[in-house]
Amino acid sequence: MVEIKFNDDSFEIDLHGLEELGAMKRKLVIPYANIDEVDENAEKVQRYLKVAGASLGVNNNLYGRFTTNYGLGFFVVKNRENAFAMHLKNETYKVVVLEVADKNEVIKTLKSHINK
């Protein structure tokens, strides 16, 4: 299960259950100031190799750190159609690909926080 929170100055992703085990990470906190772009088309992010010991990729389920065409990426995805990409600056990950129930609403809310 993935839980997201819109804090005053950051976007928080909390992972539980299979997602936490697969990603080998429990939480990501990303300051809005470090989100360079939000893209509804997660398909643009090409996953290449997984980082050894830091990810799980089975079928379309992707959890954890992978190398991408943008650099190091973090994925929490079961179905890419419901996923979006956040391109980051000044962070370990250059891109985060996240599946959510209502990606259009999440993107709209994220952009409103970024553009403050």
Half-sphere exposure of 103 (CA within 13 A, CB side): 18
Residue 26: per-residue pLDDT:
80
From 26, 18, 7, 31, select the one nearest 77 (Cα to Cα). 18
Question: What is the structure's pLDDT at 32?
Answer: 97
Q: State the pLDDT at residue 65.
A: 85
What's residue 59's pLDDT? 59
Position 83 scores a pLDDT of: 93
Written out in words, the top-level CATH class of the domain with range 2-114 is mainly beta
Predicted model pTM: 0.86
10-residue mean pLDDT series, the chain (116 residues): 91 78 75 96 78 55 86 88 94 94 95 88
